Structure 1
Amino acid sequence: MADKRQRARVQGAWAGSSNTAGSSFQVNRRSSENVAGAHRPPKEQAAPDRRFVYQNPTEVQRKIPEERIIDKEGFYEISSSSTGVSRLHLKPAFVDLKEADWMFEQLHMEIPWQQKSNIREDRSYQEPRLTAWYGDLPYTYSRSAMKANPHWHPLLTMLKDHIEEVTGYTFNSLLCNLYRNGKDSIDWHSDDEPSLGRKPVIASLSFGETRNFEMRKKPPPEEKGDYTYAERIRIPLNHGCLLVMEGETQKDWQHRVPKEYHDRNPRINLTFRTIYPETRWN
C-alpha cells in the first residue's frame, strides 16, 4: 500500500511539472514574439496620388455637311426614308437654245403677270416676284388663294404636252413665276399643300437667267427645327432646263430660290403640277 501511494505521488509530480513547463514555454514564446515585433519596422503603404490632371471634355464633334451640287443630266435619289425615296430628274437642255429664246420672249410679254399678296403672322405682304396661275381649280398657299384660270396660253399647253410625253406624268395646273432681277426670290418652303395630294410631282421648266435652286433636308424631330446640320443641294437652273421632283421630295425636303445681290436678268419658271379638290383628302 505504501508503494502505491509513493508511485501516485511521483506520477502526480510529473504531471504538474509537465503542465507548468508547457505554460512557461507558451508565455515565453508570446513574450519573445512581442519583443521581436516591437523592433520590426512597419509595412510601407503607397500614398494616394492627389494631383489634379485636367482632361478635355469628350464631346461628339458634328460636321456641317458639304453642299452637294447637281448640274449633270440624270436621275438622282437624294434620300430615302421609311415611306419612300426622294428623287430628282434633271435635263439641262430640255428645250433647244434658239427655241428657248423665242419662248422666253413670248411668255414674258403675253402671260398676265401679277404680284400676289400673302399673309404671314396676320400681316399681308407682297411676294418678291410676279406670278400667274392656270388650272381648273384655285390654288391656295400662304393663306391666300389664286383663282382658277382654265384658259391656257397655247405655248403653255404645248409645253405641258411635251413634258407629259417625256416624263410619263400628267398635269392639270401650272404656276408661272417671273423673277425680274436678282432681288426677286422665293423663300424656303415645300410644295405640300393638301390640294397637291400625296407624293406630289412638280415639273419645273426654266427660261432666261440662270438662278440657283437650293434644297435642304428637313431635320428629324429631335433637332427641333434646327437646319444647321441638314443636307443641302444646289442646282443651277439654266435656260431651257427641266427639273422634276418626285417621290417623297416635298415631304422630306424644302427648296428656295435665294436673292442675289448683283445684276441678274429676268428668269421665267414654269412649275407644272396636279391639283385635286381638297374634299378628296378630308
Structure 2
Amino acid sequence: MSDKRQRARVQGSWAKPLHKPQQPTVSAQDVQSGSWKYGARSFEFNQPDPIREIPAEKVIENAGDYEISQGPTGVSRLRLIPGFLQQEEADWMFSKLLAELPWSQKTNYRMMGDAYEEPRLTCWYGELPYTYSRSTMEANAQWPPVLSTLHLAVEQKSGRTFNSLLCNLYRDGKDSIGWHSDSEPSLGPQPTIASLSLGDTRVFSLRKQPLPEDNGDYTYVESIRIPLAHGTLLLMEGCTQEDWQHQVAKEYHDRGPRINLTFRTMSPEPESPSWRSVR
C-alpha cells in the first residue's frame, strides 16, 4: 500500500459519512405559542400555575364600620360596637339571662338521618318557629322584660327592626358553633343580623366563600378574626350572609360561660325540609 493510500485510510477517508442529527425547526409562530417540532416529535411548554399565597388573617378589634368585601352580589359590611352595654349593666343582664331563660340542648339530624346534639344550649323567641338541621325550634312568643329591653336598645342603635331572637349559651370553651351562614329563605335577601355578646370573650371568625373555580376549597379565601368581649354588639349587613361564613370555634383552655343574642327578622315561608347543617 502506498504511503498516500495508507495516510488516507488512517485519516478515515474510506469510512461512511456520519449521520448528522436533524436540527429543530423553530418558527416565529412556534416561539410565540411555546411549542416546536424536533423531527417527528413535538414539544409543548405550558406556563406554570401562578403561586397562590394564603391571605393573612385580618383582626378587627376597634369600633367602626368595616366594608369587608365588594363583588357582583354587592357590599358586605360589619359594624363593631364595643361597650354597647356598660360593665355593670352587662353583668346584671348576663346573670339574669343565665338564670331565667329556658335553655335546652337541641338535637339535629344529618342528611343520612344520624342524630347529634348541638355543642351549646339555645332558646328561640319570636312569632314563628325556626327550622334548621332538619329539626324545628318552637317559638317563645312572650319575651321576658330583660330581653324586651335589649331588643329595643339594639333596634335604636342599629336603626333596624327585628322580630326574632336566637339565644346561644356557650357553657365553656368546649361549646362551639361550626361554619355556616344565616341565609335561610325566611330571613330574606341581604338580612341584617345583630349579635350581642355577654360573658367571657370568645373569638368570632369569618371566612369568605371560595370562587366557583376553587370547587369549595377554602384554602386561599380571606378570613377575619374578631374577639367579642362582654357587652359588645356586632352587626352583619349587606351581602355578608351570602358571601361569607362565620363560626365560634372550640377553645381548649379555660373559658367561662358566654351568652350570644342574635336578633333577626323572620317571615313565613312554605314548609319544606331544611338541609342547613348548623346555626
TM-score category by the smaller chain? 0.7 to 0.9
Q: In 2, distance between residues paired with 1:201 and 1:135?
A: 16
Q: In 2, distance between residues paired with 1:204 and 1:116?
A: 20
Report the 3-state secondary structure (helix = DSSP H, G, I; strand = E; otherwise coil) of the residue aligned with 1:102: helix
- What letter is aligned with 2:263? F
Q: In 2, distance between residues paired with 1:82 and 1:64?
A: 23
Residue 260 (str. 1) matches residue 251 (str. 2) = yes
User: In the alignment, what sits opposite 2:30?
Assistant: none
User: In the alignment, what sits opposite 1:245?
Assistant: 236
Aligned with 1:272 (options 249, 263, 273): 263
Q: In 1, distance between residues paired with 2:48 and 2:242?
A: 36
Aligned with 2:146 (options 155, 174, 184): 155
Report the 3-state secondary structure (helix = DSSP H, G, I; strand = E; otherwise coil) of the residue aligned with 2:217: coil
Q: Mark the runs of 5 or more structure 1 residues left unpaired by the alignment.
A: 1-44
Report the 3-state secondary structure (helix = DSSP H, G, I; strand = E; otherwise coil) of the residue aligned with 2:152: helix
Aligned with 1:72 (options 23, 39, 62): 62
Q: In 2, distance between residues paired with 1:59 and 1:249?
A: 30
User: In the alignment, what sits opposite 2:6?
Assistant: none
Aligned with 2:73 (options 69, 72, 83): 83
- What letter is aligned with 1:209? D
User: Relative to total residues, which structure has the larger helix share, 1 or 2?
Assistant: 1
Q: In 1, distance between residues paired with 2:172 and 2:124?
A: 21
- Normalising by structure 1, we get a TM-score of 0.79
Aligned with 1:142 (options 133, 140, 151): 133
Q: 1:17-48 CA distances to partner (integer Å, 9 max, x unpaired)?
A: xxxxxxxxxxxxxxxxxxxxxxxxxxxx9x96
Q: Percent identity?
A: 61
User: In the alignment, what sits opposite 2:120?
Assistant: 129
Report the 3-state secondary structure (helix = DSSP H, G, I; strand = E; otherwise coil) of the residue aligned with 1:156: helix
Alignment size in residue pairs: 232
Q: In 2, distance between residues paired with 1:230 and 1:144?
A: 31
User: In the alignment, what sits opposite 2:197?
Assistant: 206
Q: In 2, distance between residues paired with 1:232 and 1:65?
A: 8
Q: 1:124-149 CA distances to partner (integer Å, 9 max, x unpaired)?
A: 11000000100000011111111121
Range that drifts further, 79-88 or 123-132: 79-88
Q: 1:114-172 CA distances to partner (integer Å, 9 max, x unpaired)?
A: 00011113211100000010000001111111112111011111111011111110000
Q: In 2, distance between residues paired with 1:110 and 1:243?
A: 24
Q: In 2, distance between residues paired with 1:246 and 1:214?
A: 16
- What letter is aligned with 1:231? E
Report the 3-state secondary structure (helix = DSSP H, G, I; strand = E; otherwise coil) of the residue aligned with 1:132: strand
- Normalising by structure 2, we get a TM-score of 0.79
Q: In 1, distance between residues paired with 2:264 and 2:115?
A: 26
User: In the alignment, what sits opposite 1:106?
Assistant: 96
Q: 1:231-282 CA distances to partner (integer Å, 9 max, x unpaired)?
A: 00000000000000010000000000000111110000000001100149xx
Aligned with 1:60 (options 46, 50, 58): 50
- What letter is aligned with 2:74? G
Aligned with 1:182 (options 162, 173, 176): 173
Q: 1:55-113 CA distances to partner (integer Å, 9 max, x unpaired)?
A: 9x834110000000001000001001222110000001100011111111001000010
Q: In 2, distance between residues paired with 1:106 and 1:148?
A: 20
- What letter is aligned with 1:267? R
State the Cα RMSD in Å.
2.0
